[in-house]
Structure 1
Amino acid sequence: GGGQLFVLQSKHTLAVQASPNRNRQTRSRGVEAPRPRAAALQPRLVMIVIRTALVMAAAAAAAASDPAADADDVAPLTLLPKTTLGKCLDGTPSGFYLSPSVTAAARTKWILNLEGGGECASKDRCLSQLNGPLGSSKYFSKTWRMNQFLISRDSKTNPATWDWNMVHLPYCTQDLWMGTRATPSNQSYGLSFAGHYVLDAVVTELLNLPNGLGQATEVILTGESAGGIGVTPNVDWLHDQLGSQVKVTGAPIAGLYFYADPYTGPGHTSSDLADFREAAWPSHAQLWQPFVDQSCLSAHDYVAWPCMLANYSTRFISSQLFFTQSKSDQVVLTAHDWVPGDLKPWADVEQYIQVWQRNMTSALNGLSNQAARRGFFGVDCFIHTTFSPQAPLLPFHGKNVSFAAAFDAWYTDNEFVYLQDYGGVFSNPTCPK
């Protein structure tokens, strides 16, 4: 009704399909745009080893400076060397926050969290990020509390990873953690887009630590929103860096995206964040020069941009993946898909969201048919990353569980976890208010 125009995106959501088994030892590395890979993996310098060896001791000092937090919750900021390729938009070196494991059993277990924070694809929006932590490390917090999602020290609400080595990577590149444009140019508005290089540089630092990432037996790469998007193209690359003997897992939160097919009915808006319609992605790829999976790239005739979104790339990923996702994602619907924030007129908006939900249902169901191990937790709530121990919940084995409990069952207990709502728009009774 109301003359709205929307299309069921079957050609996109049904693109998720089973892939042949692939030997992890022969898995192709990702591909990055036009700079030799060797330059990203520079020889590790002795001075870097000395500098990063101080990181563990700094954690205790950071905790002492924050009396409101438990000591194990607080991690200090470590900035990357000034010579790094892992730069923020403004060219300042990015960094990370490391909280060492708190039990002997978890000393070789690591979880890396990619922070979210949108993206920029226009000059005005990118320049507007330079005066804050989303564009410059000059504004990074000196400490970070490990108290959310899968980087939480609460053993009751985060049973899978509460005692692990935790690394939080702040987001200052606005390229969905894929960029390899380290050298600014007129074409990049004088800015760097080097999200993949930030991850690369942080991994190098952690490998150089005594008893660091080089001793890992299990590693989880997680992230939220833009960070969740960044998990999928980087997780197999991370596995390649660590070796086939390490168990590597991706756990994106609010990171399962497909091309936007916006609502154009009464009251529609426009894209507040970057344009995610299919036709816009080539220009995003040109600006950010994204790192993507090589096998996905080959399957798409060496066009990089289809491999930037998980709905089209997961079937090429060998690492196991667990998705936590809203089936009526508030940010995607209102900031990328033109749905008015007040959801009015409801009759028209509801019809569009119903179609959008069917697309997400297809995307989630498609994951269960892939060769590599998959799991998911999909809720019908008008949220983006508001996943907590209290809400939303889904029924599992006769009780309601949070996303973290579902992940624990999937990861620790090796259960099949394909959980999602089927009750309709905003139907989950435990949705956060």
Structure 2
Amino acid sequence: MAGSTANLRFRSNLVWWRKWARKDWAIAIVAFTLILFLVTLISNSSWRDEPISPFHPTTAADLVELTLLHDAERRGALCLDGSALGYHFRKGSGSGAQNWLLHIEGGGWCNTIKSCSLRKWTPLGSSKYMDRRVPFSGILSSQPSDNPDFYNWNKVKIRYCDGASFAGHPKNEPTTGSKLFFRGQLIWEAIMDELLSIGLSKAKQALLSGCSAGGLATLIHCDDFRGLLPRDSTVKCLADAGFFLDENDVNQNRTMRTFYRDVVVLQDLATSLHKDCVARKEPAKCLFPEEVIKHVTTPVFLINPAYDFWQIQHILIPEASDPHGYWKKCKLNIYNCNPSQIEILQGFRDSMLNSLNEFQKNKEGGIFINSCFIHCQTWYSETWHSPSSPRINNKTIADSVGDWYFNRNVAKQIDCPFPCNPTCYHMNFTQFSRG
């Protein structure tokens, strides 16, 4: 499969993230957006998170228009630059006319005034730079073959523009110099009100999902989402590649916790985190999903690669921890890792599984942990549900999510260690690295 046309195309659509992620820590967190923004300027092509699927080529019918949040300025529900939040909505039909699937875009966080100021010139900080039409693929696809359980639901892609997983508050907004708006919580409340007014309030079935930082936002707001909908409706939440670990890096530094601490302080996230956790622990610790899910009562499904390349590159082996480039080739392609490096990566996998020990006992919870060197997997048809999708026990991610959501079968799939799974997509960034 590594040499297939689908895999090559899939890789080429994701490569920009890794290319810029090699810069210093603060910039690396937001660089995915910066490079995509530059690509937009250079090529005059559409800015998009999802690739065009080779299984169902994108047509005009697959593109969904951007809608700006109504009355955002009056409500104070503003992106980092002060513009209104954008979202894309496709109306459901037939048996899915009263069912809703929401997907929150990912894109990291900003932890300083400087890094947040950089974001506001990109689609992850301003609706001014967001693509006006985006393709819906993967979990948002309207193709029954790509998305068998949710294809005809009402579907919403919520754009991410606050840099703090929709959990920030305006307390520390700068009053001089660069004007920034920390309004994530207000954005969340405003977009929910708007969607409720156009039919979400009557949902019979609903699924809140998100990728990466959007997956973390999903976990933070999951119970609130449940509380907004009718009591007799089925409501669940799905976090894709959002289970970030509070793990030491290879130099035994808590790089990710330090970074989260800066994000929490800058945008006053503690107010949006669970009160019991914040009362017992430092707020930065309460931003990690391992702590968040302890307090979520709504059914949750967690999708994560055991060798999440983003976490390996930024949590386990950030640039500062590898000044001599010992890990450089390994971080670009897992097949370049030597035996001692693989042993450390296996330890990272063990840490992820240990963090999920209690969650695995949750009868209403679902898990899909595959052994792929990848990040988000739900928004690509190639990895969500296709003839060549990653599988565990012959189940695609979409199969497992559907089994869990509709209570068809137990949906706790945990893969064997790398390199055991021949169905995996393993990202290979070697050809795009510099220096």
Give the TM-score band, short-chain normalised.
0.7 to 0.9
Q: Are positions 1:246 and 2:233 aligned together?
A: yes
Q: Deviations over 1:46-86 (max 9, x none)?
A: xxxxxxxxxxxxxxxxxxxxx95253x33221112232332
Task: Report the equivalent of 1:142.
Answer: 132
Task: Report the equivalent of 2:433.
Answer: none
**How many angstroms apart in 2 are the aligned matches of 1:413 and 1:143?**
34
C-alpha displacement of 1:184: 2.6
**How many angstroms apart in 2 are the aligned matches of 1:347 and 1:192?**
47
Alignment of 1:6-405 (within 5 A): 69=59, 71=61, 73-80=62-69, 81=71, 82-103=73-94, 105-148=95-138, 150-181=139-170, 184-186=173-175, 190-209=179-198, 212-264=199-251, 275-277=255-257, 279-290=258-269, 292-294=272-274, 296-297=276-277, 300-301=279-280, 303-338=282-317, 340-343=327-330, 346-370=338-362, 373-386=364-377, 387-390=383-386, 392-396=389-393, 400-405=394-399
**How many percent identity over aligned positions?**
23
8 Å CA contact 1:239–1:246 kept in 2: the answer is no
- Which residue type is aligned with residue 330 of structure 1? F
Task: Report the equivalent of 1:48.
Answer: none
For normalisation by structure 1, the TM-score amounts to 0.74
Q: Are positions 1:430 and 2:423 aligned together?
A: yes
8 Å CA contact 1:160–1:411 kept in 2: the answer is no
Number of aligned positions between the proteins: 348
SS of the residue 1:316 aligns to: coil
Task: Report the equivalent of 1:409.
Answer: 403
SS of the residue 2:351 aligns to: helix
C-alpha displacement of 1:165: 0.3
C-alpha displacement of 1:102: 2.4
Indicate how the Cα distance of structure 1 residues 427 and 191 shifts in structure 2: closer, same or farther if over 3 A, else same.
Answer: farther
- Unaligned 5+ runs, structure 2: 1-56, 319-326, 331-335, 378-382, 427-435
C-alpha displacement of 1:333: 0.7
- Which residue type is aligned with residue 197 of structure 1? L
Q: Deviations over 1:169-202 (max 9, x none)?
A: 1111111222223873259964222223222111
8 Å CA contact 1:110–1:165 kept in 2: the answer is yes
8 Å CA contact 1:181–1:288 kept in 2: the answer is yes
Deviates more, 1:174-183 or 1:85-94: 174-183
8 Å CA contact 1:99–1:165 kept in 2: the answer is yes
C-alpha displacement of 1:91: 1.2
Q: Deviations over 1:143-183 (max 9, x none)?
A: 222113x2111212212211100010111111122222387
Q: Deviations over 1:216-238 (max 9, x none)?
A: 12111101111111111101011
Indicate how the Cα distance of structure 1 residues 189 and 355 shifts in structure 2: closer, same or farther if over 3 A, else same.
Answer: farther
Indicate how the Cα distance of structure 1 residues 194 and 166 shifts in structure 2: closer, same or farther if over 3 A, else same.
Answer: same
8 Å CA contact 1:393–1:403 kept in 2: the answer is yes
SS of the residue 1:284 aligns to: helix
Indicate how the Cα distance of structure 1 residues 190 and 302 shifts in structure 2: closer, same or farther if over 3 A, else same.
Answer: farther
Q: Deviations over 1:258-308 (max 9, x none)?
A: 21311239xxxx99xxx413x44333211122254535436x427433332
- Which residue type is aligned with residue 412 of structure 2? Y
Q: Greater relative contact order: 1 or 2 (C-alpha under 8 angstroms, separation 6 or more)?
A: 1
**How many angstroms apart in 2 are the aligned matches of 1:365 and 1:183?**
37
C-alpha displacement of 1:425: 3.1
| Structure 1 vs Structure 2 CA RMSD | 2.6
**How many angstroms apart in 2 are the aligned matches of 1:417 and 1:351?**
28
SS of the residue 2:219 aligns to: helix
SS of the residue 1:282 aligns to: helix
**How many angstroms apart in 2 are the aligned matches of 1:151 and 1:182?**
35
Task: Report the equivalent of 2:44.
Answer: none
For normalisation by structure 2, the TM-score amounts to 0.74
8 Å CA contact 1:95–1:202 kept in 2: the answer is no
**How many angstroms apart in 1 are the aligned matches of 2:103 and 2:171?**
22
**How many angstroms apart in 2 are the aligned matches of 1:365 and 1:162?**
33
8 Å CA contact 1:155–1:162 kept in 2: the answer is yes
C-alpha displacement of 1:392: 4.8
**How many angstroms apart in 1 are the aligned matches of 2:116 and 2:206?**
32
